[in-house]
A and B are shown apart, each in its own frame.
Chain A
Amino acid sequence: MRDLTDRALDTADSLGATYADVRIVSRRDESISVKTGRVEGVAMGESEGFGVRVLVDGAWGFAASHRLELDEADRVAGLAVRIARASATALRNQVTLDDRPPASGTYETPVEEDPFKIPIARKIDDLVAADRAASSVKGVAFTESIYAATRESKTFAASDGSYTEQTTTHVGGAVEANAIDGDELQRRSYPDAGGGYRAAGYEYIRSLDLAGRAEGLAEEAVALLTAPQCPPGRRTIVLDPSQLYMQVHESCGHPSELDRVFGTEASYAGTSFLTTDKLESGFRYGSDLVTIVADATAPGGMGTFGWDDEGVAAEAVPLVKDGIFVGYLSSRETAPRIGRGSGGAMRADGWNRIPLIRMTNVNMLPVPGMSLDEIVADTDDGLYLANNRSWSIDDRRLNFQFSTEVAYEIKGGKKGRLFRNATYTGITYEFWRSCDAVGDERSFVMLGTPNCGKGEPVQTAHVGHAVSGARFRDVQVGVGKW
């Protein structure tokens, strides 16, 4: 690897690059899909290549190739320089990078049971058992269960002498049941429709006990068909971690990305209401109970690593502290613009993509005092909402609307009957300011998504979210005509 990284860096330097970095990435993945008790797909893939990023005349250029050969390193580095020079023809502000010590070392995800060493037949058996348990429930129309694992090995080298090697392993799994009656279609999933994911080995899949949970969730999908429509109104809602992590993701994680604040995502997913003046003024993002941290060191999170894709060491960056907006996800280019150092959030989706500011593990910290169950017991009249079904937020991350697979009525501190088709909506900062209870450590759990989209060409990132559940007052529930 050193030969190729040295060659690419030397070529970029000789052609006039003032800074260059190169990433060699090999990725291995496997997935199993089971639908209604039948193995629908078993897939494995390998991808390998390298990308060279250069600064020339204050402008960025990037090129990538699947051919790991020295002459290709010359070609790709040369192309990156040529592209940077073309970029410089439409440049108004030269890029400057903050200083950081050269990065050096290795990192590896702790794994107890290597998912790639477990025979595929055993993994299929585990998934089929879960799926058949769900599909055996009377009234279920179709089921879907998934398993996925990804291992990425990455070598990073930069013209400042940085050289790191990292290997991360992520696994995920889920079981889902769907029930249909006429125009009504109801879904229940565990732990999440997109899958519960961790930076871990197959031990995480075993811990999910998909087969043990399948029948219960399938029965609930069927029960939802005859459940009443969730009544509209201003309500108290308690969000289960399976929904709260999506709320954090969309309404705190994305608007905290500093490149988005500076407009570089404007043409795709939009900008952010968390403008830099709000950092200076101490903007009240949420209630005193709301503390949110982007923590790239959190155990088990899919946003955990040793160094980001600019060679910045992993760290925990406060975003919201006691309700006050205090920081951003940032990079070496963006952080100096607000007088700070990079928070280490640059991540690329493979060798052929340029790093962007991405979430790491954006976690809402637990608050000592009440467990999630005790919060429910403390709620006289409300709704308990679990498992995301739909999500949408405006292009500045203010107006959001979510729907959940299930709503349980809370009366007198007890969870009762089911409601179907629950939706809730609000304005981000008003919603977070209405938070009056946050679960303690007992329900604090690492969740996340492997499908966070951003950038052009679109990149998908694996990001983590540890949350414990929380209660919100006076929220608009029930939207639209049904």
Chain B
Amino acid sequence: MKAVDTQTRAGWTRAPSGDGALEDDALQLAEEVVERAIGIGATEAEALVQVEDSALTRFANSEIHQNVAESNRSVNLRFVVGKRIAVLSTARTDEEGLRTLVRRASGVARSCEEYDEWAGLPTPDDSPRRPAVPAWSPATAEATPEFRADAVRAVIAAADAAGVAAYGSFSTGVEAVAIANSRGIRAAERRSSAHLLTVHMSPDGGNGYAEDLSMDASTIDAAGLGREAATKARASDNAIGLPPGDYPVVLEEYAVVDITDMLGYLGFSALAVQEGRSFVEPGKRIASDLVTVIDDGADPAGLPMAFDYEGVAKQRVTMLEAGICRDVVYDAQTAARDGRRSTGHGLPAPNPYGPFPLNTVMSPGTSSREELVGGLERGLLVTRFHYTNPVHPKLAIITGMTRDGTFLVEGGELVGPVRNLRYTQSYLDALAGVSAVGSSRKTVRGFLGGAVVPAVRIDAWTFTGATEH
């Protein structure tokens, strides 16, 4: 197998990330699989190789109860014969494993019906590339079980100091992602992520939450997160019941991510638009002019990624600009259907769910946290949501619960904690009612990727039920 010439190959996309050996090996494997597929008759072929080393330390009742690590490697082959397509994957990358993979893929593809809309695998993009952003941190790659345990002990120490118990997890991981296809796409990148979250629970019924997500594990302030959750847990002790109804709310960042992700899932996907199940129409106002949401794989505040799972360079896509729908995200197939190029938002094939914004970024506003809360005459401060689910996808009506700290605010001041409430709320109506946006943002975990979001104040939120805690 010849070495990959990373400087001259057409379609090459690679972010600066260390010595490159891990992703180069992955790309070589992807190229080999593509060559094997073409060699036995594929008219097009694409190989996605993912090599992962990850670990997670989980704690509950202020002690570590689960501590795991894994090494994994997989090959995903899209084998095309004319317009007949099969996708096969394997973890076996020895000679016999690869030979079996392509032989079986060939047999399955030839058994399939033609996909009459097939537009072909993506081709290299000639447009100027955006500057590559590092997606990998050596500190994350070097994170040891002892490093994670140190961080967990810091979280627990903050809980102990407040007389509460800590429950959470600290994960660190690196992966090499490489994609090669027979039309010239070559993409490889090393990515890392670290994620610490904690729920603190007080003996007096209070709960608090804190979370941070970063490419670089060394930037996560475990003690600070522990203190944030502990303070919230104690502040929410002895909560009282509040009748359901319409209340203005301030949603902290941990809650806002559910709105941006849910709208990405339900609406800002080209497939959702093409199937008629999206609420998005270009130029249509669906939110307050304070709301701008983009998807940007190059934002260093999030979890950067240079390309999608089809090897297409990620474009910055403005989904909502000052409250107005601008664009949706595309993969290769949905883009071809609309006569345009993929925006680099494809997921691994086969993907009946369509493209997805993995790097959501919501623009900050100008309000401090005090100003957000200070603007509530009588309303609720909500830390986060729990178990949300669409009740009506096209109207973006979602139900879910509040969790880990819900507070009554009167005259712009926190009055005290209230028991958790259920809501049944159109997220579109909610965004239309955004009256202030926080000036600072947090990076938090979304459905599939990382999101950078501020807190917001919303004029009305419909709570439809209550629970006992």
Contacts and interface: CB of A to CB of B under 8 A. Distances in A.
Interface of A: 31, 33, 35, 38-49, 51, 59-67, 79-80, 82-87, 89-93, 119-121, 124, 128, 141-142, 144, 178, 180, 183-185, 262-264, 266-270, 273, 352-354, 389-396, 398-399, 401, 403, 421, 423, 425, 427, 456-457, 479-482
B196 to A, nearest CB: 10
B63 A82 contact: no
A41 B117 CA distance: 13
B284 interface: no
A86 B56 contact: no
B368 interface: no
A396 B201 CA distance: 13
Interface stretch (B143-151, B183-191, B316-324): B143-151
Given A42-B112, A392-B400, A395-B403, A63 B70 contact: yes
B89 A124 contact: no
Contacts of B109: 42
Contacts of B6: none
A83 B67 contact: yes
A35 B72 CA distance: 32
Contacts, number: 275
Most B CB atoms within 10 A — which of A183, A263, A266? A266
Contacts of B117: 38
Nearest to A36: B275
Nearest to B349: A41
B176 interface: no
B61 A185 contact: no
Contacts of A457: 54, 56, 68, 171
Interface string B62-74: 1111111111111
Given A427-B468, A480-B462, A64 B71 contact: yes
A87 B277 contact: no
A392 B62 CA distance: 28
B18 interface: no
Given A62-B68, A124-B112, A456-B171, A42 B350 contact: yes
B65 A65 contact: no
Contact of B466 (A46, A124, A141, A399): A399
Interface string B198-214: 11010000000000000
Contacts of A63: 68-70
A354 B462 CA distance: 40
Contacts of B43: none
Given A90-B152, A480-B462, A82 B145 contact: yes
A427 B469 CA distance: 12
Contacts of B392: 185, 421, 482
B29 to A, nearest CB: 13
Most A CB atoms within 10 A — which of B74, B87, B390, B467? B467
B68 A425 contact: no
Given A83-B69, A91-B63, A392-B399, A120 B199 contact: no
Given A66-B72, A392-B388, A121 B111 contact: yes
A141 B89 contact: no
B113 A128 contact: yes
B350 A87 contact: no
B422 interface: yes
Given A390-B390, A398-B468, A457-B56, A89 B169 contact: no
29 contacts: A38-B117, A39-B113, A44-B86, A45-B89, A46-B89, A48-B91, A60-B67, A63-B70, A64-B69, A82-B145, A85-B145, A86-B148, A87-B145, A89-B153, A90-B63, A121-B112, A128-B113, A142-B275, A180-B276, A262-B61, A267-B167, A269-B387, A398-B467, A399-B465, A399-B467, A401-B399, A425-B465, A457-B56, A480-B391
B464 A64 contact: no
B167 A263 contact: yes
A437 B237 CA distance: 40
Interface in B335-394: 349-352, 386-394
Interface residues of B, number: 90
A399 B59 CA distance: 26
B68 A83 contact: yes
A64 B70 contact: yes
Given A39-B115, A47-B74, A183 B395 contact: yes
Sort A-B residue pairs by CB-CB distance and give the 7 closest, nearest first: A41-B350, A480-B424, A86-B145, A399-B467, A266-B167, A45-B89, A87-B64
Given A42-B85, A64-B71, A394 B352 contact: no
B248 interface: no
A47 B91 contact: yes
Nearest to B109: A42
A49 B91 contact: yes
Contacts of B59: 90
A401 B440 CA distance: 34
B67 A61 contact: yes
Contacts of A35: 352
Contacts of B92: 46, 48
B391 A403 contact: yes
Contact of B66 (A39, A41, A62, A79): A62
Contacts of B350: 31, 33, 40-43
Interface string B41-80: 0000000000000111111111111111111111000000
Nearest to A351: B70
Contacts of A91: 63-64
Nearest to B198: A267
Nearest to B403: A395
Given A39-B112, A399-B401, A401-B424, A456 B58 contact: yes
Interface string B401-429: 10100000000000000001010111000
A264 B66 contact: yes
Contacts of A79: 69
B352 A266 contact: no
B413 to A, nearest CB: 27
B91 A185 contact: no
B134 interface: no
Contacts of A144: 352
B116 interface: yes
Most B CB atoms within 10 A — which of A389, A392, A482? A392
A285 to B, nearest CB: 15
Interface in B142-200: 144-146, 148-149, 152-153, 156, 165, 167-169, 171, 197-199
Contacts of B70: 51, 63-65, 352
Given A90-B64, A396-B469, A42 B87 contact: yes
Contacts of B279: 183
